[in-house]
């Protein structure tokens, strides 16, 4: 396992949901309620403030930003005059929305949590199970969760069900696949995407740990954040671990980017407790250098 990382950006409340876009790393400060972009020199810009807990981000084909308003269960769109409602899923979702991926057609894929994770993780036995050397099979959760497909006009439908706490989500357009991390399922679930956006061919890649955010490299392999074991792992198409980078804080999400495509960006934080995060402001964007065989 490699442990050499550098800090690109610090002083955040809870950095999450990173995406490499137009020469910068974009991410959200989930509990700081902002979308931020930082360049490779560490110069950052607050793109927009979000009214409430902030989730995944993506871009429509014309460049407009979409961002998840988690607690309101909505997707917002950034227009010149500010944020407007893009899609309202509050009538169908009783928990919170989570991560988001927008494909080249403008279709947004967004997951729901299914239940309150802070309440669930307040049980010491749950934390103990997740911190075990290996987590075999899904945990017994209060409710399962779903992935929704949101069309460019804001209409939506349920695309996948019976997931065990959907978290990181990415689309590999070269292979026509959608990957979703099931945190309490200790696995990645893979779907084939049909021409009309239907998800088929469901299969599971067991990991043995609880994944959070995920990112694709240039070879179609996944970098998977492993918060409780302080790192991120490169995973092959069969779930085999090929490489791992260690961190000194919880590793909540990751993305591959940089001008040469050889930088792994890691969202890290000392805790998931929102009040403690706000007090410490110790969340960071860390980076690790990759080799050509593990990135574009």
Q: Residues marked as binding for substrate?
A: 98, 116
Closest CA to 167 of 232, 242, 114: 114
Structure tokens at 75: 């997707």
The DSSP element (H or E) to which 263 belongs, if any, is strand 263-269
Q: 212 catalytic, yes or no?
A: yes
Burial grade of 39 (CB within 10 A; 0-12, 13-18, 19 or more)? middle
Task: Match 């993305």 to its residue by tokens.
Answer: 255
Which pair of structure tokens corresponds to residue 259? 């001008």
Please provide residue 119's backbone torsions phi and psi, each rounded to the nearest 5 degrees: -65, -40
The alpha helices in the chain, defined as continuous H runs, are 117-121, 124-130, 274-280
DSSP assignment of 40-75: TTS-EEEEEE-SSSEEEEEE-TTS-EEEEETTTTEE
Q: Any idea what DSSP says for residue 293?
A: G
Q: Which residues are annotated as a binding site for a divalent metal cation?
A: 16, 167, 212
Q: b/e string for 7-32 if b means 16 or more Cβ within 10 A?
A: ebbeebbbbbbbbbbeebbbbbbbbb
Binding residues are 16, 98, 116, 167, 212
Q: Token pair of 181, please? A: 């991390």
Single out the catalytic residue among 29, 212, 217, 243: 212
CA distance 43 to 4: 22
Hey, what long-range contacts does 71-77 have (CB within 8 A, 24 or more apart)? 71/96, 73/97, 73/112, 75/100, 75/108, 75/110, 75/150, 75/154, 76/50
Q: Which residues are catalytic?
A: 212
């Amino acid at each position: 396992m490699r442990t050499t990382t550098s800090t690109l950006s610090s002083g955040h409340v809870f950095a999450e949901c990173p995406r490499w876009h137009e020469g910068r790393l974009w991410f959200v400060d989930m509990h700081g309620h902002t979308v931020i972009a930082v360049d490779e020199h560490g110069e950052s810009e607050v793109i927009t403030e979000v009214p409430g807990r902030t989730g995944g981000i993506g871009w429509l084909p014309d460049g407009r930003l979409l961002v998840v308003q988690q607690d309101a269960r909505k997707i917002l769109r950034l227009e010149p005059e500010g944020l407007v409602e893009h899609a309202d899923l509050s009538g169908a979702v009783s928990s919170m929305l989570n991560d988001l991926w927008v494909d080249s057609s403008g279709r947004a894929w967004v997951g729901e949590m299914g239940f309150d994770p802070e309440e669930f993780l307040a049980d010491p036995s749950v934390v103990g199970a997740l911190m075990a050397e290996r987590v075999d099979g899904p945990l017994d959760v209060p409710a399962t969760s779903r992935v929704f497909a949101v069309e460019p006009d804001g209409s939506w439908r349920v695309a996948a069900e019976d997931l065990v706490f959907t978290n990181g989500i990415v689309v590999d357009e070269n292979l026509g696949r959608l990957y979703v991390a099931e945190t309490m399922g200790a696995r990645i679930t893979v779907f084939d995407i049909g021409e009309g956006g239907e998800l088929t061919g469901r299969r599971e890649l067991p990991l043995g740990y609880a994944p959070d955010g995920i990112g694709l490299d240039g070879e179609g392999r996944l970098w998977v954040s492993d918060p409780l074991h302080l790192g991120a792992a490169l995973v092959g198409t069969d779930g085999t671990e090929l490489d791992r980078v260690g961190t000194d804080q919880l590793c909540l999400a990751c993305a591959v980017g940089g001008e040469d495509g050889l930088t792994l960006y890691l969202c890290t934080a000392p805790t998931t407790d929102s009040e403690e995060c706000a007090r410490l402001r110790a969340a960071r964007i860390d980076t690790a250098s990759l080799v050509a065989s593990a990135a574009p």
